[in-house]
Amino acid sequence: MAQLQRIGIVGGTGYAGAELLRLLSAHPHAEVVAVTSRGDAGTPVADAYPQLRGVIDLDFVEPSTANLVDCDIVFFATPHAAAMHDVPALLEAGKRVIDLSADFRLKDADEWAAWYGVEHVCPELIERAAYGMPELNREQIAGADLVAAPGCYPTAVVLGFKPLIDAGLVDAASLIADAKTGVSGAGKSLKPGFLFAEMQESFKAYGVAGHRHLPEIRQTLGELAGGDVGLTFVPHLVPMIRGIHATLYARLSDSNAGSADALQALYENAYADEPFVDVLPAGAAPETRHVRGGNMCRMAVHRPGGGDTVVVLSVIDNLIKGAAGQAVQCFNLMIGADENCALAAPGPLP
Amino acid sequence: MAQLQRIGIVGGTGYAGAELLRLLSAHPHAEVVAVTSRGDAGTPVADAYPQLRGVIDLDFVEPSTANLVDCDIVFFATPHAAAMHDVPALLEAGKRVIDLSADFRLKDADEWAAWYGVEHVCPELIERAAYGMPELNREQIAGADLVAAPGCYPTAVVLGFKPLIDAGLVDAASLIADAKTGVSGAGKSLKPGFLFAEMQESFKAYGVAGHRHLPEIRQTLGELAGGDVGLTFVPHLVPMIRGIHATLYARLSDSNAGSADALQALYENAYADEPFVDVLPAGAAPETRHVRGGNMCRMAVHRPGGGDTVVVLSVIDNLIKGAAGQAVQCFNLMIGADENCALAAPGPLP
Amino acid sequence: MAQLQRIGIVGGTGYAGAELLRLLSAHPHAEVVAVTSRGDAGTPVADAYPQLRGVIDLDFVEPSTANLVDCDIVFFATPHAAAMHDVPALLEAGKRVIDLSADFRLKDADEWAAWYGVEHVCPELIERAAYGMPELNREQIAGADLVAAPGCYPTAVVLGFKPLIDAGLVDAASLIADAKTGVSGAGKSLKPGFLFAEMQESFKAYGVAGHRHLPEIRQTLGELAGGDVGLTFVPHLVPMIRGIHATLYARLSDSNAGSADALQALYENAYADEPFVDVLPAGAAPETRHVRGGNMCRMAVHRPGGGDTVVVLSVIDNLIKGAAGQAVQCFNLMIGADENCALAAPGPLP
Amino acid sequence: MAQLQRIGIVGGTGYAGAELLRLLSAHPHAEVVAVTSRGDAGTPVADAYPQLRGVIDLDFVEPSTANLVDCDIVFFATPHAAAMHDVPALLEAGKRVIDLSADFRLKDADEWAAWYGVEHVCPELIERAAYGMPELNREQIAGADLVAAPGCYPTAVVLGFKPLIDAGLVDAASLIADAKTGVSGAGKSLKPGFLFAEMQESFKAYGVAGHRHLPEIRQTLGELAGGDVGLTFVPHLVPMIRGIHATLYARLSDSNAGSADALQALYENAYADEPFVDVLPAGAAPETRHVRGGNMCRMAVHRPGGGDTVVVLSVIDNLIKGAAGQAVQCFNLMIGADENCALAAPGPLP
């Protein structure tokens, strides 16, 4: 039976932090006791998030370790290169940590430094971190004291490719992930491109030359494939707030294998026991609104025209299954609660 | 202690019906046993609402009284002029009914016929119906077997004007309600004006000559004022799915009364004990997203420039506090549950 | 016959500046010779506005008077309190100036200072400036060397109220303007509230306590009324890029006057000769998309329910009739061109 | 020197028809004399398109050949399987025809019948039709009396792949086109999926099993490649009105060929003389808003990570370069006008 956990949230003013607050405030085994914000310390959390008026009655505090001393578990919802400075002391103090940022995702500290532009300050902890995708390593997460919650794109892409790669059906050297995201993945960044007037009624690709989620996806797919994979990853920005839609293309190694029926069965079987992966009926196409506000990943597998290219459509809510929800899913595993505790409710639609 | 109620939902394919399903599926005292749909009978409810896959495991049934025989309470989420045909038999059979449509809202059957273009078939039941706005008549609702849940505009407008009228501070002969709504209030109507290509990046007024919610608002404000009121009501369509923002204008009867501080105190006191009305601090302006996905009505009161016009800003989620949520709030009162049971969670934001 | 004018645009990176570029690049009597930008000097204009690739082949230059020496007419599309520093020297040098900013709109320099938080540096020029609303003072504009182009809200509101006030039909002490705008009126301001994730699917009022366009509207309506007017002005932000919709409320002084037919005739006659004001048929409601991308103001007049409140609905494209288009309309008057030269084309729809 | 042409537009109530009206009303060599609409015959065109009030002063007429007798050139902006019934008589009568629908695009009448579900009534005319993509066969269009204007997806996809295929650099057996469109391509179809409430804040793929533009793209790419091509085509629906973004993937036949610099030069050279294809600088990513309201196709070519997959990003306005604008471009060629006549203006942005 899970016990009540005292929770700290570092970086509570961002969107992932707000979703953590919303999800954990309704969690029977969680009591949020500290929410930090460098800029808003001393002001009510509900001033930053008026939808939480009457739900959260805390003031933001400074993001110091002292302010987290009463916590059992600390979530980091910070930009990259922040958590790594505080995590060692927290682990030392016996806290468990779930990091929603990128700091402990890449196993190779040099690669991490190359993509994030700064040296890692505690590379010795990287190996200790469990990669927080329950569908891949549920047991490791349950026993971990440090969890690196995956990025939003990796979640949608890896879950979509996994059955194909596990089954060895496709050429892992030429995978393509054409991914589309709502803008909330960028957080509250004050950049012109994220202004309403610059985004509305427009669509574009970005980061074609290289996006920070590329090495994470490659690393995780590589672990599944048992070797290097070749991946072309093109992210796009959709004029919407939430949602990721990954359209995945893989070439069948043997065009006689992988009938549409076999592919459908492969996917249904692969995820039959997963509480948060839903394989749609043959022929379907998931819409991002079907997962908006909830922790589900929904997907469909197609083999258009009977050709040798398999197409997988995979959708998540980037702030939930792609961030806060997946972190809570890990939390549930870590404390021995039902995995779907406080995560079962679908979001409103339309 | 509230007992488990077997629930029927008539008209389950519309947006209000879907929200009822979502809210009631998480309600500890409700078990949805029948969901009707004339067009989709025999098919899974979750086919119409894929976000409910794994949450609702029922097929739609035909909307006949026979299919509702096992229910304790029946919700109607139908277009107008449907519920009135079935309600008499259901009441006769001892069911309690919560009607989200317009059929039992207007006390004057002739006025109802004039606005809805059809004769009322059971005018004798109109008086028996409790008007389902808990902030106005909580006790009547609790004891009712027939509840007429209010329209979305009336909810935002009446709650906004109520303290001013109760206090007798304003000229009730010249009220103005400039209201703005997202499109989901129109349901899934297949009309050109509700197409994405016709709504996106545009804003317009509609129904200036007369909207069906006008007599309902006038009736309810008139009850508060103890006599006829004069109301100019101009609804507008906002390019968004959900949310109502009512901007209310009233002239102070005595410009020496009603200081900004006094108005703020008036509103705070009026709603101090209401679980679903939140008066914002002085100077604030509620945003519809602050109530999106939740059952709250948030409002602010202003007296711009110290003039004699009071401005009230009132926002709700039209499908929740303006429809399904308010109906569940009534349901809670009717069964003796906590009024906020299954309604306390805020929606996701952003 | 109008002669070719060499044009300078100061502040070419904002949205109004970009619209000026687009409109003037197709103008037969204008040759844009200098576009200034403090931040982007030295880079191609088309880098900032890729839609102008192949249309504009200039680099931005520093905003110095020296860079404008070859111009005949200079447009300022700058934030407030910029133009007033450069205009005196330009006028001295014989240039004519059209200022799209607020610097020369208010006749009272003290009131200007109070609203804009800085002293005016050339108050002696204020009286010299023609207020650039052709429907009010076409002749003054034609002969002016300094034109203060109106704000976007004032354009929609003043044109909407004008016939009623000119006819003396309404109580000018209790006017209400409930106005709604797309976000482009805020320019490219990097403020959180203008992020896509903060605006999409939401609606709110702002500036209820006092908006900078209020004194401008009051001043201009006061000139029409021949005395002070009382105005409650509540602006709102719509989740769209472009468009203003003003919903105007005025009380008839004599409820026996002002039949719906008389009001319709009043409006049609008032604007019969105006090239950019279109009075819709009785009963209509203009949509902002009907003027998007064009210089028209479209409006409709209603008297709902035969009550004593007149409702006027008035829409413009805030960046065109509310900014760049109106400035070009003034330019046409100033150079003796057809008033609708380069302004006649409607925008794309949908 | 081009002569004034009397123009008929069949199917003037759809979006492509409205854009034709807008473009042709500003065309110096076109006079629109007849606009047909079965449903709206007898009513003013400007009632259906209020943005055209004051621009178009015609009433819709019935879509009969008699009503087109005074035309020199007739545009069809009808759903598929309409034009083919009227075109034979019009050609017989000496009219020239530009068909924006699908009726004359596919060279194989059986394939056409299979995709459109109805037999072709004048298969003998198919070969006579020039495929209206000027970048492919400018001369044939100039001399044609029947032009089949391409679909919107084919325009974006074919222009994007063309230089690669012409140069023989890539494996034409495994092309992938991941395409995204705004909803206006669906016209004013009254289907639930195109309602604002069903599209806003959501993204999805559709037609994965087979879209009607697939055979057209395959046919045209096949002509370029000189043989069959293999193409996986997955279209997606973006919550926006206008714009197509095609993300194209092709495998280099020889991974030593096709350096990023060489690819950039290939594309720049291929389109150096094209008035409506703009190759962006290396590293750029076109946004659909950069072509919204204009006739340009803008594109960028990438080779991410130096791998053997080339990525081309190609954007158009689906209603202009993907429909009405391209038809006018063909019209200009047919009458000997400048190819960019009435098409040079960029659209408003933002």
Q: Domains of chain B (ranges plus CATH)?
A: 5-149+323-335 (3.40.50.720), 153-316 (3.30.360.10)
Please tell me the predicted confidence (pLDDT) of residue C90.
97
Return the closest-CA partner of residue A247 out of A318, A155, A174, A160.
A160
Q: Say if residue D223's pLDDT is above 80.
A: yes
The total of other beta-carbon atoms located within 10 Å of residue C307's CB is: 16
Amino acid code (one letter) for A256: N
Q: Mutation target for A interface from D115, D199, D203: give the one with most A CBs within 10 A.
A: D203
- Region C111-118: mean pLDDT is 97
- Place D105 in a pLDDT band, splitting at 50, 70 and 90: very high
Please tell me the predicted confidence (pLDDT) of residue C256.
87
Query: Do the beta carbons of residue A201 and residue D289 sit within 8 Å?
Result: yes
3-state secondary structure of D338: coil
Q: What percent of chain A has pLDDT over 90?
A: 97
With both helix axes pointing from N to C terminus, report the angle between C134-143 and C152-166 in degrees, rounded to the nearest 10: 110
Q: How many residues are there in chain D? A: 350
CA distance A191 to C187: 14
Residue of A nearest to D176 (CA): A249
3-state secondary structure of D163: helix
Chains linked to A by 3 or more Cβ pairs within 8 Å: B, C, D
- Place A255 in a pLDDT band, splitting at 50, 70 and 90: confident
Q: Say if residue D1's pLDDT is above 80.
A: no
Chain B residues with CB under 8 Å of A298 CB are: 50, 53
Residue keyed to tokens 């006018």: D328
Return the closest-CA partner of residue C247 out of C187, C305, C288, C289.
C288
Q: How many residues are there in chain B? A: 350
Region class of A293: left (phi > 0), else alpha (psi between -120 and 50), else beta: left
pLDDT in tens, D239-298: 999 999 999 999 999 988 889 999 999 999 999 999 999 999 999 999 999 999 999 999
CA distance B291 to C37: 41
How far does C285 lie from chain B, in Å, by closest CA?
6
Residue of A nearest to B294 (CA): A51
Return the closest-CA partner of residue A113 out of A146, A86, A84.
A84
Chain B residues with CB under 8 Å of D200 CB are: 196, 200, 239-241
Among the partner residues A201, A209, A236, nearest to D241 by beta-carbon distance: A201
Q: Say if residue D198's pLDDT is above 80.
A: yes
Residue of C nearest to D240 (CA): C350
CA distance D102 to D153: 12
Contacts of residue C349, Cβ cutoff 8 Å, sequence gap at least 6? C289, C290, C292, C293, D18, D22, D49, D51
Active site residues of A: 152
Amino acid code (one letter) for B254: D
Residue of A nearest to C184 (CA): A197
How far does A100 lie from chain C, in Å, by closest CA?
20
Cβ–Cβ contact A190 with C under 8 A: yes
Both tokens assigned to A69: 């001393």
Contacts of residue A163, Cβ cutoff 8 Å, sequence gap at least 6? A266, A267, A270, A271, A301
- Region D112-140: mean pLDDT is 98
Helices (H), C178-323: 196-199, 213-225, 260-270
Q: Mutation target for D interface from B19, B199, B200, B318: give the one with most D CBs within 10 A.
A: B200
Output the DSSP codes for A98-123: EE-SSTTT-S-HHHHHHHHSS--S-G
- Place A2 in a pLDDT band, splitting at 50, 70 and 90: confident
With both helix axes pointing from N to C terminus, report the angle between C324-335 and C134-143 in degrees, rounded to the nearest 10: 50
DSSP β-bridge partners for residue A299: A279, A314
Return the closest-CA partner of residue B292 out of A350, A195, A45.
A350
Both tokens assigned to A124: 């010795």
How far does B28 lie from chain A, in Å, by closest CA?
13
Secondary structure element (H or E) that encloses residue B244, with its range: strand B244-251
pLDDT in tens, B118-177: 999 999 999 999 999 999 999 999 999 999 999 999 999 999 999 999 999 999 999 999
Both tokens assigned to B342: 């299954």
pLDDT in tens, C179-222: 999 999 998 989 999 999 999 999 999 999 999 999 999 999 99
Assembly ipTM: 0.97
Q: How many residues are there in chain A? A: 350
Please tell me the predicted confidence (pLDDT) of residue C255.
82
Return the closest-CA partner of residue B288 out of C178, C205, C202, C192.
C202
Both tokens assigned to B87: 């309600």
CA distance C148 to A101: 51
Chains linked to D by 3 or more Cβ pairs within 8 Å: A, B, C
Query: Do the beta carbons of residue C184 and residue C238 sit within 8 Å?
Result: no
CA distance B59 to B63: 12
Please tell me the predicted confidence (pLDDT) of residue D326.
98
Residue A124 vs residues A88, A96, A127: alpha-carbon distances, Å: 10, 17, 7
Contacts of residue D262, Cβ cutoff 8 Å, sequence gap at least 6? none
Q: Tell me: cis bond preceding C350? Omega within 30 of 0 counts.
A: yes
Query: Do the beta carbons of residue D278 and residue D298 sit within 8 Å?
Result: yes
Helices (H), D29-171: 45-48, 83-92, 109-116, 134-143, 152-166
Please tell me the predicted confidence (pLDDT) of residue C2.
86
CA distance B51 to B72: 26
- Region A276-290: mean pLDDT is 98
Q: Do C304 and B205 touch (CB under 8 A)?
A: no
Chain centre to alpha carbon of residue A235: 15
Beta strand segments in chain A, E: 5-10, 30-36, 73-76, 96-99, 130-131, 146-148, 175-181, 204-205, 231-237, 244-251, 277-279, 297-302, 309-316
- Place B22 in a pLDDT band, splitting at 50, 70 and 90: very high
DSSP code of B2?
P
CA distance B217 to B179: 12
DSSP β-bridge partners for residue A288: none
CA distance B44 to A57: 41
The total of other beta-carbon atoms located within 10 Å of residue C251's CB is: 20
How far does C333 lie from chain B, in Å, by closest CA?
31
CA distance B325 to B291: 12
Q: Tell me: cis bond preceding D304? Omega within 30 of 0 counts.
A: no
- Region A222-242: mean pLDDT is 98
Burial class of residue A259 (count of CB atoms within 10 Å of its CB; 0-12, 13-18, 19+):
exposed
Query: Do the beta carbons of residue B75 and residue B10 sit within 8 Å?
Result: yes
Residue B175 vs residues B84, B224, B310, C285: alpha-carbon distances, Å: 32, 14, 10, 22
- Region A95-119: mean pLDDT is 97
Q: Say if residue D2's pLDDT is above 90.
A: no
Average pLDDT, chain C: 97
- Region C15-36: mean pLDDT is 97
CA distance B150 to B276: 15
Burial class of residue B254 (count of CB atoms within 10 Å of its CB; 0-12, 13-18, 19+):
exposed
CA distance D350 to C204: 21
pLDDT in tens, B265-289: 999 999 999 999 999 999 999 999 9
Chain centre to alpha carbon of residue B138: 15
Edge-to-edge order in the sheet of strand C175-181: C204-205, C231-237, C175-181, C244-251, C309-316, C297-302, C277-279
CA distance B219 to D209: 55
Query: Do the beta carbons of residue C182 and residue C274 sit within 8 Å?
Result: no
